[in-house]
């Protein structure tokens, strides 16, 4: 009898722990079709004129920034698609996954429940996440894809890192050359290079960087198209399975997340290409701070300087 009581107590504790864990993870049915999201990944601009149209400057809490509205809109769509929907045991899964205060309220409510109510909620949540035939098929498919996914994503990164990195190296060469020339400029009484000389170098810098970026967009877009084709070849393998499981509760959620992981990878690189080209399409002035620094002027005291502070330098090839 004592062993039975211990077993029941252990089972109840485990079920409650499981319920809390499931609440935190909140894997519910996907809110949007991940394939539609994948198909809407923005294509990087093909030339500097298009890059100028694709980017704009905004003021944020962190200061002025260069943004690509289409990329921002896609990021919002991607975030929404990754957010779970529906409810389990009366819990709004979308809100629980995005609102820490709400999740804390639910957990506090659970702590105040009777043991019977806690067990009932845990059973409902566990039942919603139990491996049905549909979710078992999805799990098996994703497990089988691991090797192919690893290889595909490595190829995608190599293609895009290579294209962005090659242009980044040429940008650095120009910076090094012009900063070296600045040291040969005539100097004032304090030993600082004369503005007339550094201003001319700034004009030269913008022209040369624009030429590099204009030439790079062709190879970067080719790499992006190849990377997208690699990703599409993989995600297409799961298209029929997703269609068959989409209405099977949350069985399709891991498959949706798998598709969206490819979309997120491509989006990051596409945004990096767009923003770097956008910077050089907008830059029209420079100053000398010990280095020749081209910038986008926003007002008398605000500017967006090169290199950009984001995306990460690795993605912009710098």
What digits encode the pLDDT tens for the residues 146-185? 999 999 999 999 999 999 999 999 999 999 999 999 999 9
Q: Does any domain span residue 244?
A: yes
- The C-alpha atoms of residue 28 and residue 84 are separated, in whole angstroms, by 5
Q: Does any domain span residue 291?
A: yes
Domain holding 204, by residue range, is 30-83+137-316
Lowest mean pLDDT among 206-210, 211-215, 252-256: 252-256
CA distances from 199 to 156, 267, 272, 285, 286 (A): 40, 36, 28, 9, 7
What digits encode the pLDDT tens for the residues 218-262? 999 999 999 999 999 999 999 998 888 877 656 778 888 899 999
Question: Across residues 124-131, what is the average pLDDT?
Answer: 52
Q: Does any domain span residue 219?
A: yes
pTM for this predicted structure: 0.77
* pLDDT tier at 2, thresholds 50, 70, 90: very low
Domain count across the chain: 1
Helix (H) or strand (E) holding 207: helix 195-235
Eight-state DSSP code of residue 56: E
**Average model confidence (pLDDT) for the chain?**
81
Q: Does any domain span residue 160?
A: yes
Copy the structure tokens of residue 170: 């040429």
Q: Does any domain span residue 14?
A: no
Contact 141, 255 (CB under 8 A): yes
Q: Does any domain span residue 212?
A: yes
């Amino acid at each position: 009898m004592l062993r039975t009581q211990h077993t029941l107590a252990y089972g109840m504790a485990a079920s409650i722990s499981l319920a809390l864990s499931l609440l935190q993870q909140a894997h519910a049915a996907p809110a949007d079709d991940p394939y539609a999201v994948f198909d809407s990944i923005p294509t990087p601009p093909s030339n500097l004129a298009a890059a100028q149209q694709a980017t704009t400057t905004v003021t944020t809490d962190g200061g002025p920034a260069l943004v690509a509205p289409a990329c921002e809109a896609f990021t919002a769509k991607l975030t929404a698609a990754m957010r779970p929907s529906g409810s389990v045991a009366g819990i709004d899964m979308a809100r629980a996954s995005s609102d820490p205060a709400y999740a804390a309220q639910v957990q506090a409510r659970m702590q105040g429940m009777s043991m019977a109510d806690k067990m009932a909620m845990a059973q409902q949540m566990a039942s919603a996440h139990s491996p049905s035939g549909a979710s078992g098929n999805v799990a098996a498919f994703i497990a089988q894809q691991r090797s192919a996914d690893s290889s595909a994503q490595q190829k995608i990164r190599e293609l895009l890192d290579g294209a962005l990195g090659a242009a980044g190296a040429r940008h650095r060469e120009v910076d090094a050359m012009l900063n070296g020339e600045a040291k040969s400029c005539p100097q004032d009484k304090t030993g600082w290079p004369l503005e007339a000389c550094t201003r001319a170098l700034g004009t030269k810098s913008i022209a040369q960087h624009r030429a590099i970026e204009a030439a790079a967009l062709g190879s970067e877009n080719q790499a992006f198209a190849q990377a997208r084709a690699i990703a599409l070849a993989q995600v297409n393998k799961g298209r029929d399975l997703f269609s068959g499981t989409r209405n099977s509760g949350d069985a399709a959620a891991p498959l949706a997340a798998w598709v969206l992981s490819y979309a997120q990878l491509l989006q990051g690189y596409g945004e990096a290409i767009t923003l770097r080209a956008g910077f050089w399409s907008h830059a029209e002035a420079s100053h000398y701070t010990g280095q020749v620094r081209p910038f986008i002027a926003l007002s008398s005291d605000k500017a967006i300087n090169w290199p950009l502070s984001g995306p990460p330098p690795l993605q912009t090839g710098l």
